[in-house]
Amino acid sequence: MYFLIRRLEISCKDIKKIITFVKKYKNIIEDFKNIIKEILPNEWEAFFEALKEDIPTSIRINDKVKLSPSDNIVKHCPTGYYLDSRPIFTLDPRFHAGAYYVQEAGSMYLEKIISPYIENNQIVLDLCAAPGGKSTHLANLITKDSLLICNEALPARANILHENMCKWGRSEVLVCNNSAKDFGKLGAFADIIVADLPCSGEGMFRKDEQAVKDWSLEAVEHCATRQREIVSDVWDALKENGIFIYSTCTFNRKENEENVQWVCENLGAELIESRHFYFHTDMSEGFFIASMRKTSSAPNFKHIKSKPSKYSPHQELLINPENWAIIEKGNEIYSIPRAFEAEISYLCSKLRVLKIGVKLGEKIENKKKMQFIPDTQLALCKDINTNSWASVELDRLTALKFLKCESITLAEAPIGYVLVKYDGVNLGWVKNIGNRCNNLYPDLWRIRMNIPEELCKLPF
């Protein structure tokens, strides 16, 4: 009897929770519907019908590879493609090697809105960058003599950003884990700032049930306030006449148009362009983006200038070796763009930098001789001088075993460090010792999915 009563009590509690949730959910639907009706008075019914539709899958190709996955190109992004269906990306070694990025097509509008302002010798800051969609895009848009700083305030998300930027393979990149205020304190160093700000997530309702559960009018107000705080904190880091790109994955005006107007009126800017993406009119999730030009003055960026570094033979590991400076941190060796050597040195002294340029490898002492061990970042870097290394093309099954950090055998490969590839795309390193290879792929990046051999035969 006791257990029956206990079970009945639990059931009653569950029923109360369900009733409470249903009431709350009903309020969410009504409140959200009222917002959409106000924004789209003649289209709101079509908008809510589109909520029931399948989510389109789109990817953006890295310019370090040649891929044409479909004929359905995203109209505002020449490297963006819609796929007919969503494959198991984990089964494609090219995905792990940064050959492409899975991204909502609406977010790719960044290219169209920012391209008129891309120039030589710029510093671009992507402020709220994780997991890396816009940062990987910006890395392809900036010129080779520019510098991209990708930042994420939350440590766990910053680690994901770090991994994705390493795989994307651009050398002119720093990845940081800082607050917006940390950048604002440095003075005006950025020519362009991109801020995809934390928001109430209305544009994710179609694919993220949790986003619906977390949404409320109070959350909208809180997010709008937080967005203004973040922009205010970083504003001094943008040069006068610099470009600020403001974006969210929401529809409501408080987090979008009203905040853009607030920035223009209170911080000093002029609106250049804004654009909404809706479920029913665009093959994308919800998205808002606006570009502004800063009209207010900005404090000087007083970085400490340092002497240029001397030539290092490690520069030869990259193409155009004269463009790179070498930094050694203990046994670790990094390359950075020589054009921004002084700025990078100063930024590293003021910020929590997770990735600085490209980690080329490490020096270790072996039998009283210094030995160089190449790093995976070097393998994935688009500037790698491949003439320095032996390379082997792997089949799909062997490539996936490598990416799972399993041991593989390369009977025909030379002894020593070997660059392994799949479909012409660099994956990483092995050290071939004859009867087997030591796998140098980072354990933190390894595929954790159990992959039966028959799955590897699926087409992609």
**Residue whose structure tokens are 């709101």:** 44
Least reliable range by pLDDT among 205-209, 226-230, 301-305: 301-305
Of 62-66, 82-86, 163-167, minimum mean pLDDT range: 62-66
pLDDT tens string 215-271: 999 999 999 999 999 999 999 999 999 999 999 999 999 999 999 999 999 999 999
Does pLDDT of 286 surpass 90?
yes
pLDDT of residue 431 exceeding 90, the answer is yes
- Tell me, what's the pLDDT at 25? 54
Query: Higher-confidence residue: 261 or 455?
Result: 261
How many C-beta neighbours within 10 Å does residue 92 have? Answer: 19
Q: CA of 449: how far to CAs of 86, 200, 347, 415, 438, in Å?
A: 17, 31, 38, 30, 21
Residue 199 has pLDDT above 70, yes or no: yes
Q: pLDDT tens digits for 336-387?
A: 999 999 999 999 999 999 999 999 999 987 777 889 999 999 999 999 999 9
Q: Where are the beta strands (DSSP E) in 259-385?
A: 269-277, 287-294, 324-329, 332-337, 353-356, 358-366, 369-374
Please check whether residue 165 is in contact with residue 341, taking contact to mean a CB–CB distance below 8 angstroms.
Answer: no
CATH of domain 389-460: 3.10.450.720
Residue owning tokens 């109360």: 16
Whole-number pLDDT of residue 26: 59
Give the model's confidence band at 2: pLDDT under 50 very low, under 70 low, under 90 confident, else very high: very low
**115, 197, 146, 77 alpha-carbon torsion, rounded to 10°:** -30
pLDDT digit string (tens) for 377-418? 999 999 999 998 999 999 999 999 999 999 999 988 999 999
Instruction: Say whether pLDDT at 189 is over 80.
Output: yes
Q: How far apart are CA 309 and CA 324, in angstroms?
A: 10
pLDDT at 455 over 80: no
Query: How many other CB atoms sit within 10 Å of the CB of residue 371?
Result: 12
Alpha-carbon distance 82 to 64, whole Å? 20
* H or E segment and range at residue 16: helix 2-39
As a whole number, mean pLDDT of residues 288-295 equals 98
Mean pLDDT lowest among 64-78, 237-251, 324-338: 64-78
pLDDT of the residue at 303: 77
pLDDT score of 69: 80
Rounded CA separation 196/191 (Å): 17
Does residue 23 surpass a pLDDT of 80? no
Are 194 and 406 in contact by the 8 Å Cβ rule? The answer is no
Do residues 354 and 162 make contact, with C-beta atoms less than 8 angstroms apart?
Answer: yes
Q: Is it true that the peptide bond before 87 is cis, omega within 30 degrees of 0?
A: no
Looking at the chain, the whole-number percentage of residues with pLDDT higher than 90 is 80
Residue type, 118: I
Q: What is the pLDDT of residue 65?
A: 80
Mean pLDDT of 22-40: 80
Q: What is the CATH T-level fold of the domain 57-294, as seen in this structure?
A: Rossmann fold (3.40.50)
**Alpha-carbon separation of residue 422 from 98, 408, 417, 451 (angstroms):** 12, 14, 17, 17
CA distance 154 to 148: 19
Residue 302: other Cβ atoms inside 10 A: 9
Of 34, 136, 41, the C-alpha closest to 380 is 136
Averaged pLDDT, 275-286 = 96
What are the backbone angles phi and psi of residue 244, rounded to the nearest 5°? -115, 125
Lowest mean pLDDT among 203-212, 302-311, 408-417, 419-428: 302-311
Q: Is the pLDDT of residue 119 over 60?
A: yes
280 has pLDDT over 90: yes
Does position 307 have pLDDT exceeding 70, yes or no? yes
pLDDT band at 432 (very low <50, low <70, confident <90, very high): very high
Instruction: Please tell me the predicted confidence (pLDDT) of residue 70.
Output: 77
Give residue limits of the domains in the chain: 2-39, 57-294, 304-370, 389-460
Helix or strand holding residue 420 (H, E): strand 416-422
Instruction: Tell me the DSSP string of 187-220.
Output: -B-EEEEEEE-----GGGTTT-HHHHHH--HHHH
Cβ-Cβ contacts under 8 Å for 238 (sequence gap 6 or more):
188, 190, 193, 244, 294, 298
Q: What is the pLDDT of residue 1?
A: 32
237 close to 190: Cβ distance less than 8 angstroms? yes
Q: For residue range 35-50, what is the model confidence (pLDDT) as tens digits?
A: 999 999 999 999 999 9
Tokens at 300, concatenated: 């000087």
Place of tokens 């393979």: 169
The tokens describing 27, both together, are: 């309020």
Q: Compute the mean pLDDT over every residue in the chain, rounded to the nearest whole number.
A: 91
- Residues 181-209 have a mean pLDDT of 95
